[in-house]
Amino acid sequence: MANATMSALEALVAARHAGIDIGTEGGDLVMGAPAPPRAELLEQLRQHKTAIGKLLRPRADGWSGEDWQAFFNERAAIAEFDGGLPRPQAEAQAFSGCAAEWLNRARAIGVEAHSPELQPCPKCWLAWQKQAAAAIGAMGVPSPIESRDDAAP
């Protein structure tokens, strides 16, 4: 559903729900749809074109924001439906999986990141999680620890 306060991620999700296929080609957004999209949704897509492009383009680690969102959603669904966790706990567990994957990928491409294996104190763990939350959150993945100051392993 389109509205004036829709974020780039919400516009992308709304477009996908409306059957619009959005991707990037040569740095430009490309769209395909079986029927003409609603005018208000097209306006939201136009308004957030640059941010949507950033969400879809792969980062240095080879994953786009869309890849991270799919990784998060899959892990949350597994934890919720197969693991029997309530949705908030499933999302927290999924985010932890994303954070661990982000750290592995960051190290693989030489990004300096705090490592809980090397510095397992609560202060370092929190700094590492906040660094991962900022990086992954910038790609549209919600973090359950963004506003917490007491998160520790």
For 32-63, what is each residue's pLDDT tens digit? 888 888 999 999 998 988 888 877 777 777 88
Residue 19 has pLDDT above 80, yes or no: yes
For residue 150, tell me if it sits in a domain: no
Q: Which of 129, 69, 65, 126 is nearest to 96 (CA)?
A: 129
pLDDT at 43: 92
Structural domain range at position 86: 66-137
pLDDT value at residue 134: 77
Identify the residue with better confidence: 65 or 36: 36
Tell me whether residue 147 is in a domain. Answer: no
The answer to whether residue 71 sits within a structural domain is: yes
Q: Which tens digit of pLDDT belongs to each residue from 120-139?
A: 466 666 777 777 777 777 77
33 HSE (CA, 13 A, CB side): 16
Query: Does residue 3 lie within any of the structural domains?
Result: no
Question: Are 124 and 80 in the same domain?
Answer: yes
Which residue spans within the chain are E strands per DSSP? 21-25, 28-32
Same-domain pairing of 90 and 114: yes
**Is pLDDT at 143 greater than 80 in this prediction?**
no
Q: Report yes or no on 29 lying in a domain.
A: yes
Residue 148 lies in a domain: no
pLDDT of residue 74: 94
Assess whether 23 and 44 both reside in one domain: yes
Q: Is residue 33 part of a domain?
A: yes
% of the chain surpassing 90 pLDDT: 18
Q: 84: pLDDT confidence band, cut at 50, 70 and 90?
A: very high
Same structural domain, 74 and 123: yes
Is the pLDDT at 30 greater than 60, yes or no?
A: yes
Same domain, 75 and 32: no
Number of domains in the chain: 2
